[in-house]
Amino acid sequence: MTEEIVIDASNKSLGRLSTEIVYYLEGKNRPDYDPSQDREIFVLVKNLDKVKFTGKKLENDYFVKHTGYLGHLKKISLKELWAKDKLKALKLVVKNMLPKNKLRKSRLSRIKIIND
């Protein structure tokens, strides 16, 4: 049984929005919550372009990735990534909040953006 939850992102900060998304992706809103079970819960986010950023997070926050080779540290700011791909930026923030286990990849694939 699949469940769809619609979250309105307008006038929410990125951190508050992502913690709400993680809450539903893990299934903590259900009475039969079990951390080892992966529920078919889809989170649909609307009005993602109306998310607000507090402070200087757009300029100061970076996503860092290392390729494994010497000197290949890749760094992109939140501002650049948000302008390029909002869904990827949201998924990176949510990815860092989810537990680091086998279920993380499948839970991340169930975040969708809807346009109204």
Q: What does the pLDDT look like over 52-93, one tens digit per residue?
A: 999 999 999 999 999 999 999 999 999 999 999 999 999 999
Domain carrying residue 100: 3-53+86-114
pLDDT of residue 96: 95
Q: What is the CATH number of the domain that holds 42?
A: 3.90.1180.10
DSSP 68: S
pLDDT of residue 2: 87
Q: Is residue 63 a part of any domain in this protein?
A: no
Q: 1 pLDDT band (50/70/90 cuts)?
A: confident
> For 42-49, what is the mean pLDDT?
96
Structure confidence at residue 116 as a pLDDT band (50, 70, 90):
low
Inter-CA distances, 17 with 10, 70, 90, Å: 9, 36, 9
Residues in Cβ contact with 49 at an 8 Å cutoff, skipping those fewer than 6 apart: 86
The residue with tokens 């757009």 is 58
Instruction: Give a yes or no: residue 62 inside a domain.
Output: no
**Residue 94 lies inside a defined structural domain of this protein:** yes
Looking at residue 12, what is its pLDDT? 96
How large is the average pLDDT for residues 96-108? 96
Place of tokens 């951190």: 15
- Say if residue 108's pLDDT is above 90: yes
Domain count across the chain = 1
What is the pTM (predicted TM-score) of this model? 0.92
The answer to whether position 60 is within a domain reads no
